[in-house]
Amino acid sequence: MALNHKRKVMAAAGIAALSLTTAACGSSSTNDPAAQASADTTDYSDWCSMKSELTGKTVSIYTSIVTPEDASHKASYKAFEDCTGVKINYEGDKDFEKNLPQRAQSGNLPDVAFIPQPGLLQTMVDTGKAIPASKTVGDEVDKYFGADWRKYGSVDGTLYAAPLGANVKSFVWYSPKTFKAKGYTVPTTWDELMSLTAKIAADDPGAKPWCAGFGSGVATGWVGTDWVEDVLLRTAGPEVYDQWVNHEIKFNDPKVADALAKVGAILKDPKYTNGGFGAPSTIATTTFQDGGQPILKNKCYMHRQASFYASNWPKGTKVAEDGDVWAFYLPSVDASSKPFLGGGEFVATFRDAPEVKAFAAFLASPDWANAKAKATTNGGWVSANKGLDVKNLVSPIDQKSAEILQDPKAVFRFDGSDMMPSAVGAGTFWSQMTNWVKGQDDKTTLDNIEQSWPAN
Amino acid sequence: MFATSVATITAAGTASKLGTMVLGLAVFAVVFVGILLFASLFKGRVGEKVQAVAFVGPTLLFISIALIYPAILTIRRAFYDGKFFDLNFGSLRSRGKFVGFENFQLLWTTPGLPEVFRNTVFWVVLVPFLATAFGLLYATLIDRARGEAAAKALIFLPMAISMVGATLIWKFVYFYNGDPGSNQTGLLNAIITKLGMDPVDFVGNAPGNTFALIAIMIWIQAGFAMTVLSAAIKAIPDEIIEAAKLDGVSGLKMFRFVTLPSIRSSVIVVLTTIAIATLKAFDIVQASSGGKLGDSVLANEFYNRSFVTQQPGLGAAIAIVIFLLVMPIIVFNVIQFRKDA
C-alpha cells in the first residue's frame, strides 16, 4: 500500500521517467505510460523485404519443446530464413522453466524464448531483460488473437509476448465405439455427466467410469489443478475464476470448496475411479501419460485431459469421432454457457535488434501459423491464431481444438496455476492436490494452499 | 545450466568447446610452472615463506571465490524475499526485501516441510548405520573366505551405478498395479502376490515410501562401507588375532573385543562419510517422485524451492539448515582424526 501511495505522489510530480524504475515493486500496478511509449513502432510486418538489412544475422530460440516435436518447429521457420537470410538457432530444454530465470541472472539469455506460463513471463519481465513487443506484433495480436490472449501475453498492461501454440484442456476422452455399443450418449450438462457416471458404474462392475493420473515427476499434481480450474470455471463463472487466480478471493473461498467437492465426487469415489489402476489413491502415482490408456482396454470409460493427450495413444489408434478414441467437451452446469480452459506458449524477446523483432512478427502472423500447421504432419499442434486455416491441420482433434479456440463466442480462460505465483502454481497447488487425491480432506487442502500464498 | 549446455552441443560446438578446454589447461599449466619458478627464486627463510604463500595462496584464492563468497551470498539470501537467487543482479525490477528470519519461520509453517525434516531424520539415522552394519557384517563374513573377490565385487557393483539409475532399477522392483486381479509386474509385488498376499504400494504412501527409498541408498552405500571396512580388517596385525586366539577368544567375542576396536576409526569415517552423502543426496527422491508423495528430503526441497517454486530465500534457508546439520558431523570427524593422529 505504501508503495502505491508513493507512486501516486511521483506521478503527481510528473516524473514519468522515474516511474519506470519504481514500477518494480508491484505486480498489481496499472498501465505504465513510460513503458508503453518505449514500444518499437517500426513496421516489421513485411519481413521479406528486409533481406538487405537482416541477411547473415542469427536469432537464437530457447524453448521447452524438445525432440520429436521440435522438428516441425524448425521446418516452419524455413520461409522466414529463406526470405530474410537470417539463421535460426533452435535450442530445446526439458528444464526450460527452471533454467530461463537462471540464464537471465547469469546474463546468458536467448534472443527469443517460448514461455508456456504467463507467471513465468511476469518473472522474466521482472528481470528487466524482456523487451516489449513491437507495434507490428501488437497489431497482429489484436487482429488475430483478441483481447484475452493479449492480456495473457502482457505484464502491467504492456504487451511483451505474442501467443504461439495453444491447447484446449476442457476435453473428456472416451471411446466412441464402446459408447455406441453400450448405448451411451455424450453428456451436455454436468448433471448428465454425473448420471452417466453412475450408470456406467452400475452397468459394468469390471471397469470404472473414470481414470486419471496425476503423476508427472516434479510437476506431479498438475492434472488435479486442471480439474479444479475446469470445474470452478463452470460452477462459479469466468469472473470468479479470474478473481481466484488473482487472489482477489481467497483460495479456500466457499465457491472453490464447492468446485473441489464436485471434483472429489468423481475422483475420490472408489466406485468411479481409478479404472484400470485400482483405488482412487492410485491416481497420485499413475503418470498422466498412462492415465487414459485403460480406455483402450475397456477398463475405464472417461478421461479428462487436454487436446495434447492425442499424442499419447499408441500407434495405430484411430483418433476420430468414429474411431477408437475421441474427446467430448467437458460439459458445463447447463448447455447455455461454454467456458473452456486452455494453455499455450508466448514468444518473449530479450534482444533489441531488427532480426529478432522481424522474427517475432513472423511468429505472430497467420503465415507462420499455417506453415506450422502444414509442417506438423503427425498432428498434435494448434494455435489460437484466427488466421490459421483449420483445413491445414491434419488431425481431427486439432481441428476441433482450433474451432473452439477461434469461436468468438467461446469463453476462454488460461490455466490458472500457470498464472499464480510459482510458490502456489508450481508448488502447493500441485503437492496439495496430490495429497488430496491420496485422502487428505478438502478443507485442509484448500487451507494449506491459501496459507502458502506469498504475502506480497 | 549443465543440462542446457549439454542440450546445445552441436558438432561445431563440441570442437570449439574442446579447443577452449585445451586452452584452459595450457593456461593452467603455464601459471603452475610460473609459480614454481617464481617460488624457486627465493632461498632461505624468506624463501620458505614465499614458497608457502605461492603454493597455498592460489588454493585459498579459489576457495574464497568458489566456496566462501557464494556461501556468504547464500546466507545473505536467506534473509531476503523475492524471486531471484542473486541479489546483486543489476537491473531487476523487483528487488528482494530484507525479511529477517521470515524464511526460517517458513521452514515450520509451510505445509509439507515439517514432514521433510522428519524424513531427513529417518534418512540420516538409518542409512549410515544400516549401510555400515551391512558392510561390516559382509566384510567380516567373507574375510578370507573362498571366492572373496567375487563376493566383494557383487556387493560393490551398486556403487558403480548412479543414484538415478539405481532408483529406476528399484522402481521396477517396487512397481505396483492397483487394479484388482491384474498381473503384478513389479518384482516384490509379484513375489508377495504369489505367496497369496495383497500387493503393496511401496512408493505411493507416506511415510512408508521413505523407507523404500532409504533401502535404495543402503543398497548403494553398503558396498562402499564393505570395501573400506574389509581393508581395515585386513590391516589388523596377525599377531593380535593370534594372541587373542591363544587366549581362547573366538566368534562373536573376537568381533566385539578385537576386530571392532581395531577398526574403530575406519568405522567412524565410513559412518560420517555416508551420513554427509545422505544429507546431500537428492537424486533418489527426485528420480522416484520428485518428493511429491510426502517423501521429500531437505536436499530435494532445497532444489525445489530454489528453482521450481522460485522461493530462493526459503531455498537458501534450507541450504543453511543442511550446512548446520553437516557441521557437527564434520567437527566430530576432525576430532576423531586428531585423537588418532
Q: What are the tens digits of pLDDT across the range B198-218?
A: 888 888 887 888 999 999 999
pLDDT in tens, B124-172: 999 999 999 999 999 988 888 888 888 888 888 888 888 999 999 999 9
What phi and psi, each to the nearest 5 degrees, are found at residue A321? Answer: -60, -30
Contact B91 A101 (CB under 8 A): no
B96 DSSP assignment: P
Tens of pLDDT along B35-66? 888 877 877 777 788 888 888 888 899 888 88
User: Is some CB atom of chain A closer than 8 A to the CB atom of B168?
Assistant: no
Q: And the C-alpha cell for A44? A: 516489421
According to the model, what pLDDT value does residue B224 have? Answer: 92
A378-424 pLDDT per residue, tens: 888 999 999 999 999 988 999 999 998 888 778 899 999 999 988 89
Q: Are A338 and A237 in contact (CB under 8 A)?
A: no
Q: Bridge-partner residues for A2, per DSSP?
A: none
Beta strands in B15-124 (DSSP E): none
Q: Which residue has the higher pLDDT, B29 or A49?
A: B29
Q: Cβ contacts of residue A225 below 8 Å, gap of 6+?
A: A415, A416, A417, A425, A429, A430, A433
Q: Does A217 contact B at CB distance below 8 Å?
A: yes
Q: How far apart are CA A267 and CA B100, in angstroms?
A: 42
Q: What is the pLDDT of residue A173?
A: 95
On whether any CB of chain B is under 8 Å from the CB of A273, the answer is no
pLDDT at residue A1 in the model: 36
User: Which pLDDT score, from 0 to 100, does residue A10 have?
Assistant: 38
Cβ of residue A384 closer than 8 Å to a chain B Cβ: no
CATH code of the domain made up of B115-340: 1.10.3720.10
Mean pLDDT of chain B: 84
pLDDT at B340 over 90: no
Query: For chain A, which ranges sit under pLDDT 70?
Result: 1-39, 456
3-state SS, residue A159: strand
Contacts 24+ apart (CB under 8 A), A23-28: A23/A156, A23/B93, A24/B92, A24/B93, A24/B94, A24/B95, A25/B94, A27/A122, A27/A156, A27/B94
Choose the closest CB to A126 out of B92, B178, B289: B92
| Chain-chain contact of A427 with B83 (C-beta, under 8 angstroms) | no
CB contact under 8 A, A105 and B7: no
Domains detected in chain A: 40-168+342-414 (3.40.190.10), 171-329+421-452 (3.40.190.10)
Phi and psi at residue A395, in whole multiples of 5°?
-95, 145
pLDDT score, position A181: 93
CB contact under 8 A, A427 and B91: no
What is the distance between the alpha carbons of residues B339 and B335, in angstroms, rounded to a whole number?
6
pLDDT of residue A38: 57
Q: Which residues of B touch A23 (CB under 8 A)?
A: 93
Q: Which of B1, B4, B86, B92 to mutate to test the interface with A (most CBs of A within 10 A)?
A: B4
> Span B296-309, mean pLDDT?
89
* Nearest by CB: A220 against B1, B178, B292: B292
Q: What angle separates helix A237-245 from helix A254-267, to the nearest 10 degrees? A: 100
pTM for this model (two decimals): 0.81
Q: Range(s) for CATH 1.10.3720.10 in chain B? A: 115-340
B13 has a pLDDT exceeding 70: no
Neighbours of A137 (CB within 10 A): 28
Please tell me which of A364-378, B74-88, B89-103, B282-296 the model is most confident about, judged by mean pLDDT. A364-378
Q: pLDDT, tens digit, for every residue of B60-69? A: 998 888 899 8
